Structure 1
């Protein structure tokens, strides 16, 4: 009965479940990162992204009393609020980190020297003192409050346009684009010519060149970093955009030639032979017939190369440098982890900015990916 036509094998369901699990493992963290990038630091620290749409009761970071001092009934008074935007409700508060819930809204805390502090459930406080408070250290308020969902664009404004040193990654974003776009286009141009020659042109040593390309696929690029950098210094390129473009081109060419050659070999031979009979040159055949028909393979490699260069850290550090004007996105994120490890909202926004462009490129060109990768695998 298991072999009856139309009956699905249990293996089919296993494949479907495995694919679904892989999709969830990729989509859920990405969606969580997106949601977290629009939340405030206090909300990220107190609750997970899955509760972003619900009201949260959380212990707020201590807020120091501030405001203009005025005289009322012979006393000096400072009034203010913990929540300038409102909409939060205080459930408990205190003036010491050892007793953050010592008082309830409406209570008055005696601070000594005749000073008193009152806080209501809306976060409005009144600090009263018999003497002037100017030049004195004002008390802090530790509050526990229920806060409604809150989303903000300030994280992205800080990340992309912030002036604070070590926070803005706008320059790093431009540096990464400057590296990735040429480092994707140059290998494609060179590999397309090489793949056509290896697929359709007869010359001595062609088989050895194909074998060499396949062999280069398994060579770790780390082995070539230092010798290649020394070569760049010797010819006068040194560290810079030209050097990193050449490095990414060299590291990407074996895969590019391999994919494009496999695809071009599978193209109908009759089309090329008829073009030669009609008097077309090899360059005309390549530009007018081969390239248009090879677009799926070109697009599949472009996806791989762009994702590799966009997410690269090692090659960028070796061939571009570590200065603030030379950092790429991955290096900037490493710096943020070291300098702003507690600012999760900044890290979340920065991380999502770094993956937004690769996500767009992948989804825009993914329909060509499978066609390009499977090219030449079935005759």
Structure 2
């Protein structure tokens, strides 16, 4: 089976088809990028592909669109708010989930499996069912419309999947490495920061992309 797949992928015609599909997929993004450097009148009167008639005629390009976006009223504040929301909302769930996932994967304590099943079970709870109850709680606590409220919401909604993903990854790491570390006197805290986290960079990066 592997030989058939390798033989199929080695065919020039298949490569041509893949390149063609990739180019078609990228065309809209290329068009948006080129249009962003054109003035409004040119965008309204002609297609973005007309720039290739004279690609080195730099007078047809302009940075006015970017200047307008940056200097428009409220854009700077909106950009800052986006950073203040997305960065903590990505980092906080990953930090909490990594600690919890390591505990589920490498530590023995009563009720570990039951607690993990409960956490994973939260994945099947529809998000829409929780919006109104959470909003009522936020209104009572004065968290509605605050950054802390947004961070808590993103953290709560992202934790079940994050714990599930990282727990499986931590559990797949070689046990011999951790046993050797424990024999040398390492604590779970040391094993987590010196072994688990460095070996789990791919999983953490994937989780950060999903959470972002």
State the Cα deviation string for residues 214-255 of structure 1 (Å, max 9, x = none): 332233322212211211222332221110011011111112
Per-residue deviation at 1:173? 1.4
More strand by share: 1
1:274 alignment partner in structure 2: 180
The answer as to whether partners of 1:54 and 1:148 remain within 8 angstroms in 2 is no
Larger radius of gyration: 1
2:89, 2:151 within 8 Å by CA — same for their partners in 1? yes
Between Structure 1 and Structure 2, which shows a larger proportion of helix residues?
A: 2
Distance 1:5 1:21, change over 3 A: closer
Give, in whole Å, the separation in 2 of the partners of 1:248 and 1:48.
40
Partner of 2:53, secondary structure, is coil
Question: Is 1:205 equivalent to 2:111 in the alignment?
Answer: yes
2:34 aligns to what?
A: 35
Question: Which secondary structure does the structure 2 equivalent of 1:304 belong to?
Answer: helix
Query: Is 2:76 the partner of 1:170?
Result: yes
Out of 149, 168, 171, the position equivalent to 1:243 is 149
The C-alpha deviation readout for 1:38-59, integer Å capped at 9, x for no partner, is: 111111111111112337xxxx
2:199 to 289, 293, 298: 293
Change (3 A) 1:33 1:293: same
Q: 1:267 to 1:160 in 2, by over 3 A?
A: same
Residue correspondence of structure 1 range 20-99 to structure 2 within 5 A: 20=19, 23-54=22-53
Does the residue aligned with 1:237 lie in a helix, a strand or coil?
Answer: coil
1:4, 1:192 → 2: CA distance? 40
1-structure distance, mates of 2:190, 2:3: 53
Consecutive aligned runs of 4 or more in structure 1 exceeding 4 Å deviation = 2-7, 10-22
Distance in structure 1 (CA, Å) of the matches to 2:172 and 2:14: 29
Gaps of 5+ in 2: none
Aligned to 1:161: 71
Distance 1:6 1:219 in 2: 40
User: Is it true that 1:8 corresponds to 2:7 in the alignment?
Assistant: yes
Deviation at 1:203, TM superposition (A): 1.9
Q: What TM-score do you get using the length of structure 1 for normalisation?
A: 0.50
Any unmatched runs of 5+ in structure 1?
56-146, 307-379
1:260 aligns to what?
A: 166
Give the distance between the partners of 1:274 and 1:207, measured in 2 at CA.
Answer: 25
